[in-house]
Chain A
């Protein structure tokens, strides 16, 4: 149960990193990655996964 970022579509804007309640998102070479071991899909914290809600590119933060 985790989200992933489609690297080819990531703009590197960092909005998701700031919103992630689990500190699961890290930058590498200008684009961002989700650590599947840390990602909780924001269950129990927020109504919707924050990375997908704030991402400026459609269908880029998606269920892994």
Chain B
């Protein structure tokens, strides 16, 4: 879906919000009102990170929340084999419309993968990262994984390399990982207690045999911990992914968080279990449910203060392409890419320069706005945002496939997650049932901030207790969320004063 990607002009040169509003097509699914603008926000940038770490993560959409508004990643499916079985994974299932880890439509050789990366890089200047995330395990296919990295590093030295693994084979490959300049590794770690692990992993294949039950979980855990320690000792940034499985490891993940922090993990990403009988996974078939957004957030809040949390993960496919909220994989299948794609660095350089400026402006505006809300007293509110990227409220309500959720209070506006919602507006007409699904997905949210929204969905949202806000169309997300919050608190105080 090409329209999902922000163009160069959308992000940099057009700095006047009024100008951007003027460009918004008239009509569409309904009426709009264009009122005032404002500025405020919170910085999710460098913070207290050492400069050398910031340099590694600042353009990596998975490792920096801020970067995920601007930069894209792609996965190449060169690693089909796996060395363990997880109860949330079924390798047989493949559907082009499915978006979740382990799923892929087209397996590639390292040579095909490198060709695809060059083709994407020349079309998508946002591309910063190549990851190998399966569909099996990157390190259960070491020759294919490292050959791909070698070819891509040769063709596109600016692309950051990363891989994702269950950790079983990790200690055998840390030296090679360092040699190939892979500076980001994700280890999926769902338990630090073999009894908990045994409920998640039915078996592993290790040292030429299949291990089951507690033995399997114990070996896996030992290898994961050893690998984690070796990576941090080698100065490689480690993200730990954990799948939150209610009733199995949800409470236990607090201990996981503490243990991985102790071993130097840079980020901890707690992801909700995706469980559907149609996927044919063990958990799907046994009716094991995933957590709801409120349960996920409450666990993430409880982990606050431990290992730094990643909350913007989209649990993408092993062949995903594009910004995190989108998937352009279908545009870059082997039959659609040139035999010998050529990469033009000028386009990428121009984009990076624009983003630098945009980030700087956004940070300044955000700090200013933060100062303005700092003295407000009131409860935290959740705000959902429709965005196509660039850190701005720039998407029509009906076109949003997901909403980014921010928590706003006197401390500022913080990204806390996203809610998936298949776009409700199809060819100019909204569909009633879809709207109800979107409203259900927005449970607990006080307002939804959009570039534009039709009158009918707006009224229906209001009935459901969700305010639809168009006043900040095309403005920065955090600054707008804080300005909206300040207005809300002022209104409340006004009412209080009158009724007192």
Q: Which residues of A contact B (CB under 8 A)?
A: 9, 11-15, 18-19, 30, 46-48, 50, 53-54, 56-57
Contacts and interface: CB of A to CB of B under 8 A. Distances in A.
A48 B203 CA distance: 15
What is the predominant secondary structure among interface residues of chain A facing chain B?
loop
A14 B260 CA distance: 32
Nearest to B84: A56
Interface stretch (B205-213, B308-316, B329-337, B411-419): B205-213
Contacts of B85: 56
A13 B91 contact: yes
B92 interface: yes
23 contacts: A9-B92, A12-B80, A12-B107, A13-B80, A13-B81, A13-B91, A13-B136, A14-B141, A15-B83, A15-B136, A15-B140, A18-B141, A19-B208, A30-B107, A46-B209, A47-B208, A47-B209, A53-B205, A53-B208, A53-B210, A54-B83, A54-B205, A56-B82
Contacts of A18: 81, 141
A50 B208 contact: yes
A30 B141 CA distance: 17
A40 B184 CA distance: 41
Contacts of A54: 81, 83, 205, 210
Contacts of A14: 80-81, 141
Contacts of B81: 13-15, 18, 54
Interface in B85-111: 85, 91-92, 107
A41 B37 CA distance: 72
Given A13-B82, A48-B210, A54-B83, 18 more contacts: A11-B92, A13-B80, A14-B80, A15-B82, A15-B83, A15-B136, A15-B140, A15-B205, A19-B205, A19-B208, A46-B208, A47-B208, A47-B209, A48-B209, A50-B208, A54-B205, A56-B82, A56-B85
A62 B310 CA distance: 43
A47 B206 CA distance: 13
A28 to B, nearest CB: 14
A18 B144 CA distance: 12
Contacts of A57: 91-92
Interface in B34-81: 80-81
Contacts of B209: 46-48, 53
Contacts of B136: 13, 15
A12 B92 CA distance: 9
Nearest 9 Cβ contacts at the A-B interface: A15-B81, A53-B210, A13-B80, A54-B205, A56-B91, A11-B91, A46-B208, A13-B81, A14-B81
Query: Looking at A9, A15, A18, A48, which has the most chain B CB atoms within 10 Å of its CB?
Result: A15
Contacts of B92: 9, 11, 57
A34 B327 CA distance: 37
Nearest to A46: B208
Nearest to B92: A11
Contacts of B82: 13, 15, 56
Contacts of A15: 80-83, 136, 140, 205
A11 B107 CA distance: 11
A54 B210 CA distance: 7
A23 B82 CA distance: 19
Nearest to A30: B107
A59 B322 CA distance: 38
B168 to A, nearest CB: 12
Contacts of B91: 11, 13, 56-57
Nearest to A60: B92
Contacts of B107: 12, 30
B276 to A, nearest CB: 19
B40 to A, nearest CB: 50
Interface in B320-370: none
A62 B90 CA distance: 20
A50 B207 CA distance: 10
B67 to A, nearest CB: 32
A25 to B, nearest CB: 12
A56 to B, nearest CB: 5
Nearest to B134: A13
A9 B209 CA distance: 22
A47 B211 CA distance: 12
Contacts of A46: 208-209
Nearest to A15: B81
Contacts of B141: 14, 18
B435 to A, nearest CB: 38
A47 B85 CA distance: 20
Contacts of A48: 209-210
A19 B81 CA distance: 11
A47 B141 CA distance: 23
Contacts of B83: 15, 54
A47 B210 CA distance: 10
Contacts of B205: 15, 19, 53-54
A9 B83 CA distance: 18
Contacts of A12: 80, 107
